[in-house]
Amino acid sequence: MFYREAGQYKTSYKADSAIFPILQDRIAIWFYLAVAFIAVPLFGSEFFINSMMIPFLIFSLAAIGLNILTGYTGQISLGSGAFMGVGAYSTYKLVTIFPDMNVILAILLSGFFAAFIGMIFGLPSLRIKGFYLVVTTLAAQFFLEWAFIRIPWLYNYNDSGAIEVPNRRVFDIVVSGSEASATTRYLVVLSIVVGLTWVASNLIHGRIGRSWMMIRDMDIAAELIGVRPLVAKLSVFAVSSFYCGVAGAMMVFLWLGAAEVESFDVNQSFLILFMVILGGLGSLIGSFMGAGFIWMLPIVIRAIPKILGLDINASTVEHINFMIVGALILVFLIVEPHGLARIWAIAKQKLRVWPFPY
Amino acid sequence: MDFLYSLFVGPFVDMFSTPDFLLQVLWEGFVTGTLYSLIALGFVLIFKASGVFNFAQGIMVVFSALTLVGLYQAGVPAYLALLLAVGVMALLAIGVERLVLRHMVNQPDIILFMATIGLSYFLIGLGEFIFGGETKSMITEQLGLPTGSTTFAPFGGVLILQHIDIAAVVIAAVLVAGLAFFFSKTRIGRALRAVADDHQAALSVGISLNQIWAIVWFAAGIVALATGIMWGARSDVSFALQIVALKALPVLILGGFTSIPGAIVGGLIIGFGEKLFEVYWGGLLGGGVEGWFAYVIALIFLLFRPQGLFGDKIIERV
Amino acid sequence: MFKKLTTGAVAVALAASVQISSVSAGESLYIPQLSYRTGPFAGGGTPIANGFGDYLAMLNARDGGIGGVPIVSDECETGYNSQKGVECYEATKGKGALVYNPYSTGITLQLIPKAPVDKIPVFSMGYGLSAAAIGEKFPWTFNYPATYWDQLSSIIKFIDSQDGGIKGKKVGFIYLDVGYGKEPIPLLDQLSKEMGFKVVKIPVGVKEMQSQGSQWLKVRKERPDWMIMWGWGSMNPTAIKEAAKIRYPMDHFIGNWWSGADVDLRPAGAAGKGYRSANMAASGTDFPALQDVLKYVVDKGKSQVKDRSQVGTVLYNRGLYNAVAVAEAIRTAQKLTGKKVITGADMRLGLENLDLSAARLKEIGLPNFALPIKASCKNHGSGGAIFMQQWDGKKWVKTSDGITPMTDRVRAALEKAADKYVAGKPDWVTQKCGG
């Protein structure tokens, strides 16, 4: 009833092909942003901000990174965890080598290191695709994991082998480290994620994004009409790894506070792939939905038996979580391969015609 | 200079000064390689018949072994437990065909592949939910598998062969021979090959695809069970094995996705290669190179011979 | 399809919001339990969590808690994964947590910088960062009875007392390649220089835990006189089996106290005969307190153990001992502050003034269960002795009295390491110890 576009006339092509063609959508997006930037820091408890919102945003960014590669360009990767690691370790090196460096700048810069490494491991994609590419990305995953352990320079020869986040100030506010407040870190994460999502949206809807999608849909035809596979493929690996790298750096610096190599292992890669699949391949909003879903699910599963007064031990919860995630992947791939984003779109379509669907 | 020495000369000096040890390393590589081959074999079976790249094969190895041990611990006699485990793999095969594959006909390969990742997650959760998450030891003796070892003295040194390793190699050989016989001499086997050659032609001569899929998944389940028993006897049964099982992927790159001899040769190359490299060269890099050696070999291979050693299909390149 | 999904989503969202708003209320002592009953380390994590939980449950059932205040304990599954551990920490710290026992060196390392900020002490009993034993530099972290460095020095001391000394020998060090396994290496390097023995380090990655063929081939190649193991989870049984395979002399193979549980040796059985390991608490159930646990908790079906035989195993008793130390620290804190319901800061005081003497152990029904612990402002954990146990093919047998660490060497090294840790952190909270 309220979600109706009657009376909104498009008077230019630009308006017609806008990302949010409907006024209500534009209002909604500003509303969400207002909630995220104002209401959450004001009213959210520390637990809510630190254990739900921050990881949700960080994983959303990683999922966007993988979605650009897998959803928009059709190159499947199981190495996103390792690329997150590249971002985290390079930020760590940057802030310890240059102690006065702005930590937010360091996080963004580290994305370029990740992009570079991503391009190197993306080189085989010029010759192969599909399952073959899966194996090369697994090679990246395992090789980088090994490097994070066996190259002690990367963690400054710490006895523990872990990277620890120092307290760093930006404009006299502690942004990273154990003393940074959850709200500060949340706002930094939110700003970075919103900014990079905007960039991603522009990339995807621009010339380069269209060339990625052409490669996905039919590579040979794309080449025939003038898309250069070399440029398109390497650029997508670079962009995707950049997003993963920034997400990894934020994960360590703005959320966990310290990390070992396990945080970037192959299971992390799987998890991000699941976020992309459940959220919807080739959809930015889907990346957010998938990340939110995968992240919130175990929290909800843990909460339900307590509300019902049942006593289920922690390990059973974990097992059930695995089963549900696995089963949902199957269900989604069978019933709705375009994921939550598609369901969202259907919902909006229904709303548009409600209450008179015919 | 030292570095060059330890890269190009030292390892070979080591090898020939203690040939008995070299033999031991080669034997270890051979047995590990056999097990990689078996996992890869499971992949190949399914890929040939249905074009599904079954990521869950590694999990099936653990799941089947866990079922076996779990049933035995619940008080079922060992051989009956083995039979029941075979039955569970049959149920799994039928279940996968009915609930998953049947609904995903005509989906792109990559979607099917992701579905098998979902399946593997589901199986991990189910396995731990039913049998518990702790590491279990394989019921080697109860199944009548040999334990103990034999010592040889080649070149005046010591070479220790575990009986279970010998049994693993023998069982693998029998399994491969059995599968070869099944494929070439039986009616179902011929139907399987027909499906592998051309789905539509097979359909038109009256072969039921659904049935065939259930059968190959079951065959892959049996291979997984055998692998699980052998691997479990060498170490223990737990889901940590799944990461090791991923090594079957580089094996497949080497051997080609559709070739059974390729899976075997590829497995052996990776087995020998990684053991030799780890023992003689690993120290240079700080050790632990086994984790990625196989993948990097596969990566290099991909650049020069993407169809693998025995792959018969020219893969689509861009 | 769509309607069902929306109703489902709404129901779930409602459920979640109810959960978040519910806070544990009333007078209680809240002790979160970071446990791991899944994954490759579950074999060790499960008995520890059982022992820990059962002792606290026994106190609740028998005495109505500690000082009349009931204990509330939640388990949060970490899977021995540092990231999940931190998530568990963040999820539970707001509920008035008194102390964290992470049971993972990796998680401990992550919690150490958080402890002073949130004012909740971290108690890593016999694991974690060794340097955290220096109370002046780490006011919020405790790791008695002994740090890894103490333990390593005790093991080296033991080796030195055998077969005519350690000088000139070759010692193999096989370790799990994570924070935990790498922790004692600085001291090992130092001791090898000072005492004149050669060290061969053999890392085992988490992924290779169950296929250690290459690692043990390397052992065969290097032929070390002694092997020391810093293993955990499914690494241990595999290592012992592999050692038996290459016929390594088992009585020259020594595990630290995380590599000497019943679950580690049972798979090897008779082949593991002669294998030694360090330990800190007795096994078995011949203690009044353990009988109470059986009576009040296990027999009533309130425990997660599958049957009575799991009570009294090495790791079960380790977890129980941990709970004893926590309970005694709470008692101490209650005495010192005069409050019944204490906070994390009070708990820190209790842990710092803990005096678990032989007499006190006897009083709480655990005579000679472990060697006494006495903490102080300066010393949060270094210096405790270990004893050796040996596997006889079926069970563990205690074979030595307490072996004290080389405190002179270890303390200096720990202080240096603590200084190094604090050096890069200008905002680090330290404390001064009077006298």
Residue B263 near residue B40, CB atoms below 8 Å: yes
Asked whether residue A290 is domain-assigned, the answer is yes
pLDDT tens per residue, range B53-91 = 888 888 899 899 989 998 998 888 888 999 999 999 999
| Long-range contact pairs involving A342-349 (C-beta distance under 8 Å, separation at least 24) | A342/A280, A342/A283, A342/A286, A343/C2, A343/C5, A344/A285, A344/A286, A344/A289, A346/C2, A347/C2, A347/C6, A348/A3
Strands (E), C241-292: 253-255, 276-279
Residue spans per domain, chain B: 2-304
Q: What is the CATH number of domain C27-146+283-383+413-423?
A: 3.40.50.2300
Residues B161-186, mean pLDDT to the nearest whole number? 87
Pairing of strands A168-170, C29-35: unpaired
pLDDT tens per residue, range A165-208 = 777 777 767 777 767 788 888 999 999 999 999 999 999 998 99
CA dist B290 and B238 (Å) reads: 20
pLDDT tens per residue, range C136-195 = 889 899 988 888 999 999 999 999 988 888 888 999 999 998 878 888 888 999 999 999
What percentage of chain C carries pLDDT values higher than 70?
Answer: 93
Residue spans per domain, chain C: 27-146+283-383+413-423, 149-281+388-407
Residues C323-347, mean pLDDT to the nearest whole number? 90
| Structural domains of chain A, count | 1
* pLDDT for C192: 92
Residue C210 sits at the chain B interface (C-beta within 8 Å): yes
Evaluate whether ipTM surpasses 0.85: no
How is domain C149-281+388-407 classified at the architecture level of CATH? Answer: 3-Layer(aba) Sandwich (3.40)
**Which DSSP letter does residue A227 get?**
-
* pLDDT for C264: 86
Contacts of C211 in chain B (CB under 8 A): 32, 234-235, 244
Contacts of B128 in chain C (CB under 8 A): 38
Instruction: Fold for B2-304, please state it.
Output: ABC transporter involved in vitamin B12 uptake, BtuC (1.10.3470)
* pLDDT for C17: 45
pTM (two decimals): 0.85
Q: Over chain A, what is the mean pLDDT?
A: 84
User: Measured between CB atoms, which of C22, C304, C424 is closest to A313?
Assistant: C304
Asked whether residue A64 is domain-assigned, the answer is yes
pLDDT tens per residue, range C21-51 = 333 445 889 999 998 887 778 888 889 999 9
Interface test with A, best of C52, C54, C77, C429 (most A CBs within 10 A): C77
Chain A: residue nearest B306 by CA?
A: A128
* pLDDT for C208: 78
What percentage of chain B carries pLDDT values higher than 90?
Answer: 10
- Asked if C425's CB is within 8 angstroms of A47's CB, the reply is no
Task: Annotate C41-57 with DSSP letters as a single string.
Answer: THHHHHHHHHHHHHHHH
**Which DSSP letter does residue C250 get?**
G
* pLDDT for C435: 52
Which contiguous run of DSSP H or E holds residue C363?
helix C358-363
Contacts of B252 in chain A (CB under 8 A): 135
Task: Choose among A85, A93, A207, A78: nearest CA to A146.
Answer: A85
Comparing C27-146+283-383+413-423 with C149-281+388-407, is the CATH topology the same? yes
Give the contacts of A240 (CB within 8 A, at least 6 positions apart): A65, A66, A68, A69, A77, A80, A83, A118
CATH code for the domain of A312: 1.10.3470
Query: Which two tokens mark B38?
Result: 């078996």
Domain, as residue range, for A132: 44-353
**Which DSSP letter does residue B316 get?**
P
CA dist A60 and A262 (Å) reads: 20
**Which DSSP letter does residue A21 get?**
-
* Phi and psi at residue C74, to the nearest 5°: -115, 140
pLDDT tens per residue, range B262-290 = 888 989 999 999 888 888 887 777 777 77
Residue B42 near residue B223, CB atoms below 8 Å: yes
Residues C227-244, mean pLDDT to the nearest whole number? 89
pLDDT tens per residue, range A100-152 = 788 888 999 999 999 999 998 888 887 777 777 888 888 889 889 888 888 88
* pLDDT for A91: 92
Asked whether residue A240 is domain-assigned, the answer is yes
Chain A: residue nearest C15 by CA?
A: A304
Closest approach of C332 to chain B, Cα-based (Å): 36
ω into residue A355 within 30 of 0, thus cis?
yes
Residue A126 sits at the chain B interface (C-beta within 8 Å): yes
* pLDDT for A160: 67
Residue C418 near residue C131, CB atoms below 8 Å: yes
* pLDDT for B300: 81
Q: Of the given ranges (A130-144, A317-331, B140-154, C219-233), which has the lowest mean pLDDT?
A: B140-154
